[in-house]
């Protein structure tokens, strides 16, 4: 296991800058999530780390050694692919043992290692099957076992849950996270799903257009977004952004935008809010509308607890006094970066 460090990695395909200077430090044993929209360069960045792509410029260090010119097999990194990339003509046992066979490990040792990995992921009963006879969740575990069996320096995961159905995804998320904590493996996990990112990452790197916009713990990313992109990319519904009369932008999370009388006294900013539409989602009620005196590209959303706000009290077309605690207001300058004042 080892720390992964990148220094100003750039990758261009012809004219296109896929990765635009990413510097990232992933300490030993950390679970780092790369979060970003499709086509932001996160998968290319991952492929550069494992050696499937060669960076145009920049340095890549694994365990303190520069590995820029090392082939994938010399880097000791394991990767799990979106569609798992299992070898369809091999049994599960031979799939898992493949990385060991490429290292010409003696066969008794291979046997031991495979049994260890199979037990770790609870797939001992599947060893003689072929990938096509497995369910999606089982395939994922086999892919994970294959990635872990040679005790890699780091584990890279490229949207590993996107092929699972919603229910399985929740449990698989739990499994991967538990597993990573138990083994203490340096892990870099690529996803465009913010729920996965928030739920699993020790830290999150938000990436857009080949650049890191912000690196931080899930709390930091959510509570203190570094710029408008992070603010609107993370959170569902996203942070409300309105143009501020003093220049720049004002942001606040929908769950902090509440009817005036629900906020206890203390510093709060009041707004007049016209309700256009409301959605009841069981645990919450999402209300869409506009704010008097503020411009916004998106409708303003408020996330209200249904237990506190009765159906009849907020109707479409009505104006209501709403407010946001001053501590929950975020200021951004005209270029979209977080400004220091609160």
Partner 1 sequence: MAVIAEPVAKPISRYRFILDRREVLEAVLVAPAILYVLLLVGLPLLLAVYYSLSAYTIYNPTWTFVGLANFEQILQDPTFLDTLRNTFIFTFGSQLLGLVLGKFGAFLLLQPFPGRKIVRALIILPFAVPVALATIAWQWMFDSLYSVINWTMIAAGIITREDAPNWLGNPYLAMLCIVIINAWRFFPFAIVIFLAGITAVPQDVIDAATVDGAGFWRRNYQIILPMILPIMAIGLIFGIVFTFTDLSIVFLLTMGGPGGATSVLGFAGFQTGIVSGDVAHGAAISLFMLPVLLVVVIFMLRFIRRREI
Q: Per CB under 8 A, does 54 bind partner 1?
A: no
Residues whose CB falls within 8 Å of the CB of residue 321, separated by 6 or more in sequence, listed in order: 259, 260, 261, 270, 271, 272, 273
SS3 of 210, please?
coil
Q: Per CB under 8 A, does 86 bind partner 1?
A: yes
Task: State which of residues 25, 81, 193, 220 lies at the interface with partner 1 (CB under 8 A).
Answer: 81
Task: State which of residues 57, 65, 83, 245 lies at the interface with partner 1 (CB under 8 A).
Answer: 83
- The tokens for 318 are 């009505």
Q: What character string, x for contact with partner 1 (CB under 8 A) and - otherwise, covers 131-170?
A: -x-------------x---x--------------------
Q: How far is the CB of 153 from partner 1 (least distance, A)?
A: 12
- The tokens for 141 are 């575990």
d(CA 26, CA 141): 24
Residues 262-281 that bind partner 1 (CB under 8 A): none
Q: Which is nearer to partner 1, 73 or 277 (CB)?
A: 73
Give me the DSSP letters along 44-111: HHHHHHHTSS--SEEEEEETTEE-TT--HHHHTEEEE-TTTT--TTS-HHHHHHHHHHTTT--HHHHH
Phi-psi region of 273 (alpha: psi -120 to 50; beta: other; left: phi over 0): beta
Distances (CA, A) of 318 to 255, 288, 314, 315: 20, 12, 7, 6
Q: How far is the CB of 204 from partner 1 (least distance, A)?
A: 24
Task: Check: CB of residue 321 under 8 Å from CB of residue 315.
Answer: no
Q: Which is nearer to partner 1, 98 or 294 (CB)?
A: 98
Task: Check: CB of residue 234 under 8 Å from CB of residue 46.
Answer: no
From the list 60-68, 79-87, 110-118, 287-295, the region that binds partner 1 by CB under 8 A is: 79-87
Task: State which of residues 16, 89, 106, 340 lies at the interface with partner 1 (CB under 8 A).
Answer: 89
> What does the angle CA 56 – CA 57 – CA 59 come to, to the nearest 5 degrees?
130
Task: State which of residues 130, 209, 325, 331 lies at the interface with partner 1 (CB under 8 A).
Answer: 130
Residues 171-200 that bind partner 1 (CB under 8 A): none
Q: What does residue 314 show for φ and ψ, rounded to 5 degrees?
A: -125, 110
Q: Per CB under 8 A, does 50 bind partner 1?
A: yes
Q: Could you tell me how many residues of this chain bind partner 1 (CB under 8 A)?
A: 26
Q: What character string, x for contact with partner 1 (CB under 8 A) and - otherwise, covers 95-124?
A: ---xx--xx---------------------
Give me the DSSP letters along 246-285: TSSEEEE-GGG-EEGGGSPSSSEEEEEEEEEEEEE-SS-E
Q: Which is nearer to partner 1, 152 or 210 (CB)?
A: 152
Q: Which is nearer to partner 1, 76 or 225 (CB)?
A: 76
d(CA 258, CA 59): 48
From the list 36-44, 70-78, 256-264, 313-321, the region that binds partner 1 by CB under 8 A is: 70-78
Q: Per CB under 8 A, does 238 bind partner 1?
A: no
Residues 28-47 that bind partner 1 (CB under 8 A): 47
For partner 1, the binding residues (CB under 8 A) are 47, 50-52, 72-73, 77-79, 81-89, 98-99, 102-103, 130, 132, 146, 150
């Amino acid at each position: 296991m080892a720390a992964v460090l990148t220094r100003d990695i750039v990758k261009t395909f012809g004219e296109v800058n896929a990765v635009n200077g990413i510097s990232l430090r992933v300490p030993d044993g950390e679970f780092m999530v790369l979060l970003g929209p499709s086509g932001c360069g996160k998968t290319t960045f991952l492929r550069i780390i494992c050696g499937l792509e060669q960076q145009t410029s920049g340095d890549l260090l694994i365990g303190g050694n520069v590995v820029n010119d090392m082939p994938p097999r010399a880097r000791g990194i394991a990767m799990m692919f979106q569609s798992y990339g299992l070898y369809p003509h091999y049994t599960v046992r031979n799939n898992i043992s493949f990385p060991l066979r490429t290292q010409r490990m003696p066969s008794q040792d291979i046997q031991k290692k495979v049994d260890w990995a199979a037990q770790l992921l609870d797939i001992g009963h599947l060893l003689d099957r072929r990938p096509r006879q497995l369910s999606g969740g089982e395939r994922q575990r086999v892919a994970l076992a294959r990635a872990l069996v040679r005790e890699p320096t780091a584990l890279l995961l490229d949207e590993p849950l996107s092929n699972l159905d919603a229910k399985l995804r929740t449990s698989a998320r739990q499994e991967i996270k538990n597993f990573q904590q138990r083994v203490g493996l340096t892990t870099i996990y690529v996803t465009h799903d913010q729920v996965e990112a928030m739920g699993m990452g020790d830290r999150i790197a938000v990436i857009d257009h080949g650049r890191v916009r912000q690196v931080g713990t899930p709390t930091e990313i959510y509570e203190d977004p570094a710029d408008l992109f992070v603010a609107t990319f993370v959170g569902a519904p996203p942070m409300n952004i309105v143009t501020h009369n003093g220049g720049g932008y004002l942001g606040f999370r929908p769950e902090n935008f509440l009817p005036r009388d629900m906020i206890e006294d203390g510093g709060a900013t009041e707004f007049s809010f016209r309700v256009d539409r409301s959605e009841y989602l069981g645990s919450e009620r999402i209300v869409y509308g506009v704010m008097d005196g503020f411009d916004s590209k998106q409708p303003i959303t408020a996330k209200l607890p249904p237990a506190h706000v009765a159906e009849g009290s907020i109707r479409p077309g009505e104006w209501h006094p709403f407010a946001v605690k001053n501590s929950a207001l975020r200021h951004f300058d005209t270029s979209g970066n977080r400004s220091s004042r609160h």
